[in-house]
Structure 1
Amino acid sequence: MSYLNQVTGYRKDILTNRSVVKHGNFALIEPDGIVKNVIPGFENCELTILASPKLGASFVDYLLTVNEGGCNHLGFGEDGVETFLYVFEGDLKVWNEEKEQVITDGGYIFCPENRKLYFENNGDRKVKAFLYKRHYDRIEGFEAHTVIGNINDVEWVHYEGMDDVLVKDFLPSATDIGFDMNFHILSFKPGACHGYIETHVQEHGAYIYSGQGMYNLDNEWIPVKKGDYLFMGAYSLQAAYGIGRNDEFAYIYSKDCNRDAKL
């Protein structure tokens, strides 16, 4: 077994961990102790499964490192499944049956159902990325389409009218009902917070890539920081404060949308 943070052997201190896991409700998963997973098709890659249906999520989130020469030529995804890949750093060639492009820091690709995602690292540096898959919630007369872009080309928008909380959207779900989910980046300046504690049917998977914060998870205030992963299940209360002195508290997260609840 291999660990994400490469820490093995004897500890110099007592065993302790900040992670909190409440199946179906919420989870905070810190980097210490999580493992790398071997998954067919991922060649010369390091992959960690974060959220999955075993946790209570309707999706699967992964942390992905594609080493030099690493690839997936088998294809990621399956019938009825949509996928998303976001590059934190590195250069990665990505494609499906419709489009092909080399994406770099901030680049992303969304593949709709029945369009497998392929990639390869032909560069000279490792690629750090976030990966996602989910069963597409199909409705008659609408469908999603392949999207390739770079989030650095997207303008920040004031979140609900607040100057110190900013948001970016990856996909056109606000104007295209064919999309049943979206990815966003939410960024808080130190001291900024949500305007209220949210309660909703949608789920989130969130990876914190900058700063520190205090997160309300089902009315428990929990300190979180860069490198942590959060799962928020349906109706789990949620809100955050940005804390710290310099870096903004920022994370990338998914949210299902544009669909009625099923009986």
Structure 2
Amino acid sequence: MGYPKGLLESRAVFEQGKFAIIPPEGLVNNVLPEFENTTMSILGSPRLGARFADYIVTLHKGGKTTGFAGQEDVQSFVYVIDGKISASAGEEKHDLTQGGYLYCPPGVQMKFENAQDEDTKLFLFKQKYTPLEGGKKPWVVTGNTNDIKQEIYDDMENVLIQDLLPVDFAFDMNMHILEFKPTGNHPFVETHFQEHGAYLLSGEGLYNLDNKWFPVQKDDYIYMAPYCLQACYAVGRESISYIYSKDCHRDPEL
């Protein structure tokens, strides 16, 4: 990378236990033993205040993981931002291209490798699973967002959402893609029990975090803690969209 061309500065913002904005310019490579020929950075983690871990992963030619998650109480999810992978959930094999995703329930290890000579970019997630007493267990889910209909969000035709996992009590979380067309915005400033880790897939916007407004853009990562005030305005000439996790279907533990 060499010497900087100007002052050292960053758009990154971090307030412990509340929120964080992590732009790509400040990311450093994390080297993990389960990954080969890979450039990756850990984004969200318990050190940030999250109850999950998010990663941004670039698989180079021959890049792969020899095994991700798979512990009896840990679930995982991968989304293909660009490129293609050959993935497996235990013994199940799946070929995923741009927009493709794979969810592995607790106890099912995920593996994947780059299926092209060019780089492949992934968003990766893992989180401990909270079982539902007497309830059924989640199952392997795969699909492609290009095949999922966008639904109108809160009666606003220029804000669209996609659910990537089943809306079922067996699942204690979901993954969504939320898209704000130009001039789109949240209908109100949200304050809620759930937490989010969000990776911006396109566009530019202004994001309200704890009643402070910040500019955000494609390839930024945002962490939002429980009860952190949050809302978005789309700005610019293209939609702003992001993939994000949301915990659900479980009563607070006391």
TM-score range, shorter chain: over 0.9
Partner residue in 2 for 1:167: 161
Partner residue in 2 for 1:10: 3
Q: For structure 1, which segment, 106-115 or 30-39, has the greater mean C-alpha deviation from structure 2 after superposition?
A: 30-39
Q: Deviations over 1:45-104 (max 9, x none)?
A: 111000100000000000011111111123434231000000011110011224211110
The 8 Å contact of residues 210 and 230 in structure 2, kept in 1 or not, is answered as yes
Q: Aligned partner of 1:149: which letter?
A: G
Partner residue in 1 for 2:222: 230
Partner residue in 2 for 1:179: 171
Q: Deviations over 1:158-211 (max 9, x none)?
A: 001111001111000x2x100000110111111111000000010000011100
1:34, CA displacement in angstroms?
A: 1.3
Partner residue in 2 for 1:258: 249
Query: Against the structure 1 CA distance between its residues 220 and 71, is the aligned structure 2 distance closer, same or farther, given a 3 Å change threshold?
Result: same
The 8 Å contact of residues 207 and 229 in structure 1, kept in 2 or not, is answered as yes
The percentage of counterpart residues that share the same residue type is 47
Within 5 A, what are the aligned runs for 1:134-145? 134-140=127-133, 141-145=135-139
1:142, CA displacement in angstroms?
A: 2.1
Normalised by the size of structure 2, how large is the TM-score? 0.97
Q: Aligned partner of 1:260: which letter?
A: D
SS at match of 2:47: coil
Report the number of matched residues: 253
Partner residue in 1 for 2:59: 66
1:249 matches 2:234: no
Partner residue in 1 for 2:145: 151
Structure 1 stretches lacking a partner, 5+ long: 1-7
The 8 Å contact of residues 77 and 133 in structure 1, kept in 2 or not, is answered as no
The 8 Å contact of residues 100 and 145 in structure 2, kept in 1 or not, is answered as yes
Q: For structure 1, which segment, 134-143 or 57-66, has the greater mean C-alpha deviation from structure 2 after superposition?
A: 134-143
1:231, CA displacement in angstroms?
A: 0.1
Within 5 A, what are the aligned runs for 1:181-196? 181-196=173-188
Q: Aligned partner of 1:134: which letter?
A: Q
What's the Cα RMSD here? Answer: 1.0
SS at match of 2:46: coil
Displacement over 3 Å in runs of 4+: 74-77
CA distance, structure 2, for counterparts of residue 102 and residue 124 of structure 1: 15
Structure 2 stretches lacking a partner, 5+ long: none
Q: For structure 1, which segment, 154-163 or 117-126, has the greater mean C-alpha deviation from structure 2 after superposition?
A: 117-126
SS at match of 1:32: helix
Partner residue in 2 for 1:33: 26
